[in-house]
Each structure stands twice: as C-alpha cells, then as structure tokens.
Amino acid sequence: MTVDSTSFIRVVVLGARKVGKSAVTVRYLTKRYIGEYSSSRDLLYKHGVFVDSQPCEVEILDTSRFQDDVFPADKVDWADAFIVVYSTADRRSFQVATDSLRRIQHQVAGRQVPIILLGNKRDLEHVRQVSVDDGQEMSLQFQCQFYEVSAADSHVGVTVAFQSVLREAYSLKTRRSLPIRQKLGSMTVSKMIGAVFGKAVKNDKKKRPSLSL
Ligand SMILES: Nc1nc2c(ncn2[C@@H]2O[C@H](COP(=O)(O)OP(=O)(O)OP(=O)(O)O)[C@@H](O)[C@H]2O)c(=O)[nH]1
C-alpha cells in the first residue's frame, strides 16, 4: 500500500488506569477481546487502513499504566488525534478524562485536533457511575465526539469510534495540505452560509456525533 504524507495518522489513546485503553485498542485492531494485558509500557501499533477509500498508515499509541495524576504531555505534539477513555463504572476516571481534555486543548493551543471521548465498559450497567448525559455534556463542552462502548461485548462501537476519529484526522490533514487559494475558497462558502442562515450560529456549541453501541 503506497501512502502520501497526508495519509500518516498518529493517534494517542489515553485515560486513567484500568479503563480499558488496551482492550479498546486491541479490539479495534484485531476485533478480539482479550481480558487481561500484562504490558507495563506504552505500546505503538502500526496499522494499514483505508479511510474514505484512501490508503492510510496509522500509528496508535496505547499509553499504558498512565498514572492518574501524570498527563502524557510529551505525546500531545506527536499526535494527530486523541482517544480519551474513561470507564462508565468509575467516576474518578471520568474526572481524569475531563482533565485530559482540558490539558490537550490547552497544549494544542488552537491547532485543530480530532478528539473522541470514549466511555468504555458500558456492559457494567449495574455499577454505572457516569451517565450518558454526563459524557454528552462533556463532549459538548470540549467540542469533541462522544461514544459509549463495551470492548468486552462488541467490536462494533469501538471500530466505529476509531474509524470516526481517523476520518476526521484524515480530512483535516487533507485540508491543511491544500493550496491556500482552495482553502480561501472554502472559507468563502462558509461565509456565504453564515450570511444566509444568520450569524447566530457562530457561538453555538454544535452537537458532535455521538453513539452508544
Ligand atoms: N466489563 C468490562 N471490563 C473491561 C472492558 N474493557 C476492559 N475491561 C477490563 O478492565 C481491565 C483493564 O483493562 P486494560 O485494557 O488493561 O486497561 P488499561 O487502561 O489499558 O490499563 P493500564 O494500561 O494498566 O492502565 C481488564 O481487567 C479488562 O478485562 C469492558 O468493556 N467491560
């Protein structure tokens, strides 16, 4: 598979300890669920995939043993996209995810990066500590996508979430690589839309795609 430079996509998977970062990553890559992972270090996976019919090389960094109070700041500049995982059965992991979203946005300082907030372990409904509304509200606040999944139950939701962040990252990279005239052209179109539908939309918090699978 031959790819150009816009088709390299780097994704960092991060979150509190034991939320299922490895489980969702391996689920996406192999479609399998493996209950226990013994790795105690970050793992980098390389993966060839088609995004919008274009061949892409994807690197996924599964940050392991991420200490709840240590944010992997050195990975932020490396990444084209982020998957911030929490467990729906662990309120504290949601707070860690919120803190991570804040830190990512602070560090990227205006650079547009796709982020997915991923609530894992939704199969543990009887011990749920974070509601769907909590997740959705947080994703609205940080203007990111939101999915609730169970790596244990199904590969479908996990796959949809990964594909979605890859598609957004690919689309952003493609737009950045366009000649300036084409970029200005697209701005003119959005200005026209703004003129037709009114300027009120400017400060609206748009609801991003979200899904429970
Ligand atoms: N019930 C349930 N358990 C899960 C799910 N995903 C992962 N687990 C379990 O949660 C535990 C932690 O999963 P890991 O994938 O190792 O979590 P991690 O975030 O990579 O862990 P560290 O890197 O050590 O922080 C394991 O016992 C998994 O079997 C899920 O969707 N449902």
Predicted confidence at residue 168, as pLDDT, reads 95
pTM: 0.85
The Å distance, Cα 29 to ligand 1 centre, comes to 16
182 vs 65: CA distance, rounded Å: 44
The Å distance, Cα 190 to ligand 1 centre, comes to 43
Indicate whether residue 37 lines ligand 1 (CB < 6 A).
yes
Nearest to 29 by CA among 14, 44, 17: 44
Pocket test for ligand 1, best of 14, 22, 62, 130 (most atoms within 8 A of CB): 22
Span 1-59, pLDDT tens digits:
555 666 899 999 999 999 999 999 999 999 999 877 766 788 999 999 999 888 999 99
pLDDT confidence bin for 201, thresholds 50/70/90: very low
Predicted confidence at residue 7, as pLDDT, reads 84
Contact 17, 28 (CB under 8 A): no
pLDDT confidence bin for 161, thresholds 50/70/90: very high
Angle at 47 between CA 169 and CA 164, to 5 degrees: 35
How many CB atoms are located within 10 Å of the residue 178 CB?
A: 13
Q: Max alpha carbon distance in the chain (Å)?
A: 56
ipTM computed for the complex: 0.99
Predicted confidence at residue 175, as pLDDT, reads 83
Q: Which atom of ligand 1 is nearest the CA belonging to 37? A: 16
Span 123-154, pLDDT tens digits:
999 999 999 999 999 999 999 999 999 999 99
Span 95-123, pLDDT tens digits:
999 999 999 999 998 888 999 999 999 99
Predicted confidence at residue 35, as pLDDT, reads 79
Helices 132-142 and 91-108, axial angle in degrees (round to 10): 10
Predicted confidence at residue 52, as pLDDT, reads 86
List of domains in the chain: 5-212 (3.40.50.300)
Q: 89-114 burial, b for 16+ CB within 10 Å, e for fewer? A: bbeebbebbbebbeebbeeeeeeebb
Predicted confidence at residue 72, as pLDDT, reads 82
Contacts with 139 (C-beta within 8 Å, 6 or more apart), sequence order: 117, 145, 146, 208, 210
